[in-house]
Structure 1
Amino acid sequence: MQPISTYFPSADTLVFGCMGLGGSWDASSTSAEQRQKDYQALDAALESGYRFFDHADIYTKGKAEQVFGDYLQHHAGLRDNLLLQSKCAIRFADEASVGRYDFSADYIRQSVEGSLRRLQTDYLDLLLLHRPDPLMQVDEVASVLQRLKEQGKVKHFGVSNFGWPQLQLLQSACLMPLVVNQLQMSLKQHQWLEQNVLTGMAEGASNFFSYGTLEYCQQHKVQVQSWGSLAQGLYSGSGELTSAADQATATLVQQLAASYQCSPEAIVLAFLMRHPAGIQPVIGTTSPQRIRACREAVGLQLTREHWYALYVAARGHALP
């Protein structure tokens, strides 16, 4: 496989996550006030240099994509300068069924059509399968993905929340490469590091993170994206510090931000980006101030000593 830059030469270091657009997660319409707030967030993102936008068909029950599509219609020519990524396959509970995942060809096709309609675009640059479906029939999935590509509706494909065996199995049936795997990763949610540090140790059994997934992605040039990258602002002033480890980490983040002359958000993101897997953070905030603050992570390289200091602070005790 080739690195993602081969498919998307203009791919940004950061991805703007659109889950916060659209308002509430119910059937209500997006209010004019909410829409204005969302437009201000998108203005700030574009002015700051974001060009890669992450969606999912379920975000605020489809309203996030709808708001973004309306925004595109007010900005002629903008679509051609953006990378749009959406996700599908999570189905909410309804009168007939419990919440479930659905990799059936019909549902994937239906989901893509819905996203294209709401985003008011002819194609997606990337489609990710949102969470692994235990009932996945790889040949069926591969066939519908190939058809979507041939129809020009989706250019490239990837997955989200997949371990390497699931990714490898699906790839074995697909003619085109799966180029992205989006995973929950942050300075707070650091199980992706613990799985290796605690290899062969009893305490490692409680830190399972699909062992070998990052290594598989590195080996096969699958772009790793991180969701929850900012840890909901825990270390940059927006969260409640409930443990000694969280307090120590937040203090260190502030100290490093002063040392590197950047925002605390940039330090938190730079921690992810320092990893050799080339992690591409997805930014979930809709605050214009924080959207701009996150851009300060681009080009920021933490020293090895500072990276380890953050890791040890976040885990709350010394490395073995």
Structure 2
Amino acid sequence: MKKIKFGTTNEQVSAVVFGCMRLNKAKDPVEVIQTAYDHGITFIDHADIYGGGDCETIFADALAKTSIKREDLFIQSKCGIIPGKLFDFSKEHIIEAVEGSLKRLRVDYLDSLLLHRPDTWMDPFEVNEAFEALHQAGKVRYFGVSNQNPMQIEFLKKGVQQPLVANQLQFGLMHTGMIDQELQVNMKTPGSFDHDGGLLMYSRLHDMTIQAWSPYQYGFFEGVFIGNEKFPELNQALEEMAEKYGITPTGLASAWILSHPANFQVIAGTMTPSRIVEIAKASEVQLSKEDWYKLYLAAGNMLP
């Protein structure tokens, strides 16, 4: 399993993350957790809203049935969403959410906590109070954000003293906006439209780890592009290149992300053990720059 440096910390973590959003749909949670661990995936991603909180409880129950030790895992959770109602970065909510996650996970601390989606009411100094209280109590080691742009991160930094070391963002072969905007500079093309404020370059400048969520999806949760007849050119390229590198198309789509020099992690949310193995194996494959661009173009992108 490829290891990467986690943000500005000294932590070396697995490049592939086991995403627990669908853990409540797993046929055998023990098997998928054990499979991930056996193949070097030791970074675990949760959120307090996954399964209405059930995913964290299921994880704790399943983990107890393995021989895996808490200290051998890097456990992350996210907070700030009250589904269907509001986003809430208040001190009270952040602390309450973390306490809830710790209780459900049956652990004493989180390795990482991310603010899940932006809250337009966020007060950086109030967020700082929550972060400092959690950090000083030994309940959270590191902090970051999810789905936030550079200006929102800079605004948080106005008050937050803890380093913001990660940003969880949708990225993959069919979600390449961060790449498109960098390549199509000073052009009147769809790809030149800047949705994210130069997020990729900002992340690289500030050594923030980007965690790519839903890396195999297209559209807004419309489905998986791998093996999908809607994308014949991309899938032909994936099939041919996967054979060249000795991995599967799913593995190749993962390797495409991890081969970029921007310190990405890939969040694997599959609950199928064989797919976990495919993705873990691919983490050690480094695509050539030529092949990386070939897949980028096969996904329907352009070069100026």
TM-score using structure 1 length: 0.87
Are 2:127 and 1:141 aligned?
Answer: yes
Match of 1:92 among 69, 83, 87: 83
Match of 2:274 among 285, 289, 301: 289
Aligned pair in 2 of structure 1 residues 134, 6: CA closer, same or farther (>3 Å)?
Answer: closer
Match of 2:252 among 243, 255, 267: 267
Amino acid at match of 1:319: L
Match of 1:82 among 65, 69, 73: 73
Are 2:22 and 1:20 aligned?
Answer: yes
Residue 66 of structure 2 aligns to a residue whose secondary structure is coil
Match of 2:226 in 1: 236
Match of 1:44 in 2: 35
Q: Is the 8 A contact 2:32 2:271 kept in 1?
A: yes
**Structure-1 separation of matches of 2:168 and 2:140:** 18
Amino acid at match of 1:241: E
Q: How does 1:216-235 map to 2 (within 5 A)?
A: 216-231=202-217, 234-235=224-225
**Structure-2 separation of matches of 1:179 and 1:85:** 12
Residue 13 of structure 2 aligns to a residue whose secondary structure is coil
Residue 144 of structure 1 aligns to a residue whose secondary structure is helix
RMSD, aligned CA:
1.8
What is the deviation of 1:101?
0.5
Per-residue CA distance 1:61-80 (angstroms, 9 max, x = gap): 11110011112323356111
Structure 2 residue runs of 5 or longer lacking an equivalent are none
Are 2:171 and 1:151 aligned?
Answer: no
**Structure-2 separation of matches of 1:274 and 1:39:** 30
Per-residue CA distance 1:264-286 (angstroms, 9 max, x = gap): 12210111112221111111111
What is the deviation of 1:247?
1.1
Q: Is the 8 A contact 1:230 1:283 kept in 2?
A: no
Amino acid at match of 2:268: I
Q: Is the 8 A contact 1:235 1:264 kept in 2?
A: no
Q: Is the 8 A contact 1:149 1:155 kept in 2?
A: yes
Q: How does 1:1-320 map to 2 (within 5 A)?
A: 4=6, 7=9, 9-23=11-25, 37-75=28-66, 78-93=69-84, 99-204=85-190, 207-231=193-217, 234-237=224-227, 240-242=228-230, 246-315=231-300, 318-320=302-304
**Structure-2 separation of matches of 1:45 and 1:182:** 20
Residue 208 of structure 1 aligns to a residue whose secondary structure is coil
Higher strand share: 2
Residue 11 of structure 1 aligns to a residue whose secondary structure is strand
Match of 1:96 in 2: none
Amino acid at match of 1:139: F
Residue 176 of structure 1 aligns to a residue whose secondary structure is coil
Residue 85 of structure 1 aligns to a residue whose secondary structure is strand
Aligned pair in 2 of structure 1 residues 193, 77: CA closer, same or farther (>3 Å)?
Answer: closer
Per-residue CA distance 1:66-95 (angstroms, 9 max, x = gap): 0111123233561110000000001113xx
Per-residue CA distance 1:171-229 (angstroms, 9 max, x = gap): 23122201101100010111111111222222247743313211111111111111012
Per-residue CA distance 1:229-283 (angstroms, 9 max, x = gap): 222783433xx332xxx21101100100101111212210111112221111111
Amino acid at match of 1:134: T
Q: Is the 8 A contact 1:161 1:182 kept in 2?
A: yes
Higher helix share: 1
What is the deviation of 1:7?
3.0
Q: Is the 8 A contact 1:234 1:250 kept in 2?
A: no
**Structure-2 separation of matches of 1:144 and 1:183:** 23
How many percent of aligned residue pairs carry the same amino acid? 36
**Structure-2 separation of matches of 1:100 and 1:91:** 5
What is the deviation of 1:6?
6.0
Structure 1 residue runs of 5 or longer lacking an equivalent are 24-33, 94-98
